[in-house]
Chains A and B, each alone.
Chain A
Amino acid sequence: MSRIKTTFEALKAQGKKALIPYITGGDPLKEATVPMMHALVDAGSDIIELGVPFSDPMADGPTIQLACERALEHGTSLRDVLAMVKEFRTTNTETPVVLMGYLNPVEAMGYQTFVDRAVEAGVDGVLMVDLPPEEACDVDSIFKDAGLDVVYLIAPTTTDKRIESIGKSGSGYVYYVSLKGVTGSKALDVDDVARNLERIRAHVTIPVGVGFGIQDGATAAKVAAISDGVIVGSALVNRIAANATNPKQAQAEVSDIIRSMRTAMDA
């Protein structure tokens, strides 16, 4: 069984929901990422989405885009991000890691090479933002044959028919994008999310995580109550950006956010 599935089942048994933070690998420094991943786990995270920096992150807002630029400034590559996962795995063999990013760095490495290295490093799943199921057909099986979960996005505008097909293609969990916009957007309407989750659940049997626009414990708790997982990215990356010259402080502030979300979600 995949680490992601095990994690969701264990949480379910405890009556808890998954807390899934996103950080960009190599932001602000390559050596800051692995300690940050451990800090995320220590503060109560269940799954880590680790961003592979890309020069043109079209679906992201300014926060993640700047994170990519900081990481690329000192040349953080897909190869480096895989090395980070490998290092993380030397002391943590339980927390699932999902690589999130855009297709081109993977395409440049070669799909089979990427999959071999990802499995060897201890990656559990991939979420390629610009790879919808229609374009994924060949690639999808390469990922899955190697035992990697393939996480797909569902948007508020996704039709029921597509939700059904995404539900069949996806594994691990699906990522529900809570609003029309890019990452780092402000407002999330919990009632609207609840209505759409109902629509999604009619077709999707794997867990549904919700992301975009979740910035504090109160929102995290509300979203946790209606979904299987809370995904938080820009709120954390903002703290990393604000403390780009002081990784220890960044770790402390990010941990505070995660702890407050964990507490609110478990209350």
Chain B
Amino acid sequence: MSIKTTETETDFNVELPDERGHFGIFGGRFVSETLTAALDELQETYEKLREDPEFQAQFDSDLAHYVGRPSPLYLAERLTEDCGGAQIYLKREDLNHTGAHKINNTIGQALLAKFMGKKKIIAETGAGQHGVASATVAARFGLECKVFMGSTDIERQKLNVYRMKLLGAEVVSVESGTKTLKDAMNEAMRHWVTHVDDTFYIIGTAAGPHPYPMLVRDFQSVIGRETIRQCDAQIGRQPDAVVACVGGGSNAIGMFHPYIKHTDVAMYGVEAGGLGLHGDDHAAPLSKGKPGVLHGNRTYLMEDENGQIMGTHSISAGLDYPGVGPEHSWLKDVKRAQYVAATDDEAMDAFHKLTRLEGIMPALESSHAVAYAMKLAATMDKDQVIVVNLSGRGDKDIHTVAQLDGVTA
């Protein structure tokens, strides 16, 4: 079969995915039959609750009073001056409770779990941000929580592992495969299949089988919706470009999705360029990969010529994933968004620059977005505007940064 590429004339007002979870040729539900009933149940529940005022009111209330939304839109004046071009605004997701955008989604899914009567939640995590956000909402809603995490990631994110334990979650070390995020996701799926009756699986990124990419996107879209309102109020117009880092792509799709119809706003997704796109040591499936099937959806993947999934490399555990959410694959193919990469070194430079110029210490994931925005700004006029989604704060990365800078903290 030749899988047809998406047609060139795209109507960006059409709501995707379709009823079976497809974004063009991407997405879908490629899972073992053992998971189908659970996904059907989730989809049915979500489709009902999506329109349910009580559910939405509770979600909005928790976003306001528990997460601390709306997050500010902040003009980074000194960074802007330093780059010498477009004005750079930061959407401050780092100021959310637990320090990243992840909580928007975990609040939404924990509410779903509650409405479905499930008492246990499980989650996979890479950097530990989604694990912390899941453990947090588990505490908030009185749910039992297990977090699956690759043993490599446990080693490099000790602080978050301890945070999860303090919050009452059990952290399950995953020793299989590359011992990172993708393997944690495999293990979480396996656990879910076995305990599907009383367990809700909170997927942390806008990937996986339908309906996950859609519901994670919906919960994260609060980022873009707020940005649209704030741009109107603060700047009087919409930006020329929005920039976000892309691992699985949940913060990026949260920013991008509400902007898809605003076709005069350019969208840039920044993947982890690792040691550079010339070799294999990166995590940039949209830049260098090809379409394939992993974790329940068809999407761009890092794979070898035999279709085996490759190990990835990034300075930031949160971007260290060989796949990407299917909506990004679609946005790439229909050319609505551009996907670029920032290397480890560029991200480190951006981390230091933002810290020193603005007193804002970004997560290494978000540093990738900052790095590209700095480059982009320099090529633009001073009356133009870029909004960078600053998806998380950098406290969790201080040890990594110290190590890379040769400092013994």
Binding site for B on A (CB under 8 A): 54-62, 65-66, 69, 72, 75, 77-79, 102-109, 111-112, 129-132, 134-135, 138-139, 142, 152-155, 157-159, 162, 166, 177, 180-182, 185
Residues of B within 8 A of A181 (CB): 34, 193-194
Bound complex: CA A63 to CA B301 (Å)? 26
Q: Are A108 and B309 in contact (CB under 8 A)?
A: no
Q: Are B292 and A130 in contact (CB under 8 A)?
A: no
Residues of B within 8 A of A55 (CB): 177, 308-309
The 14 sampled A-B contact pairs (Cβ below 8 Å) are A54-B308, A56-B182, A58-B189, A58-B295, A59-B193, A103-B30, A104-B309, A107-B292, A109-B307, A111-B1, A112-B1, A131-B30, A180-B193, A180-B197
**B190 at the A interface (CB under 8 A):** yes
Measured CB to CB, the closest approach of chain A to B28, in angstroms, equals 5
Contact of B32 among A62, A72, A112, A129 (CB under 8 A): A129
Residues of B within 8 A of A132 (CB): 29-33, 36
Residues of B within 8 A of A153 (CB): 32-34
Q: Chain B binding site: helix, strand, loop or mixed by DSSP?
A: mixed
Residues of A within 8 A of B183 (CB): 56
**A65-B176, A153-B34 given as contacts; is B20 within 8 A of A105 (CB)?**
no
Bound complex: CA A115 to CA B308 (Å)? 19
Chain B interface extent, by class: 35 or more
Bound complex: CA A52 to CA B303 (Å)? 16
**B196 at the A interface (CB under 8 A):** yes
Bound complex: CA A22 to CA B141 (Å)? 44
**B293 at the A interface (CB under 8 A):** yes
Closest to B178 in A: A55
Q: Are A177 and B296 in contact (CB under 8 A)?
A: no
Bound complex: CA A180 to CA B34 (Å)? 7
Measured CB to CB, the closest approach of chain B to A66, in angstroms, equals 8
Contact with A along B155-187 (1 / 0, CB 8 A): 000000000000000000000110000110010
Interface residues of B in 293-342 (CB under 8 A from A): 293-296, 301, 303, 305-309
Measured CB to CB, the closest approach of chain A to B180, in angstroms, equals 12
Measured CB to CB, the closest approach of chain A to B323, in angstroms, equals 10
Closest to A129 in B: B32
Closest to A175 in B: B33
**A56-B186, A58-B186, A134-B29 given as contacts; is B36 within 8 A of A104 (CB)?**
no
**B37 at the A interface (CB under 8 A):** yes
Measured CB to CB, the closest approach of chain A to B195, in angstroms, equals 8
**With A102-B293, A130-B293, A155-B32 given, can you name 4 additional A-B contacts, CB distance below 8 Å?**
A153-B34, A157-B34, A157-B36, A181-B194
Residues of B within 8 A of A139 (CB): 1
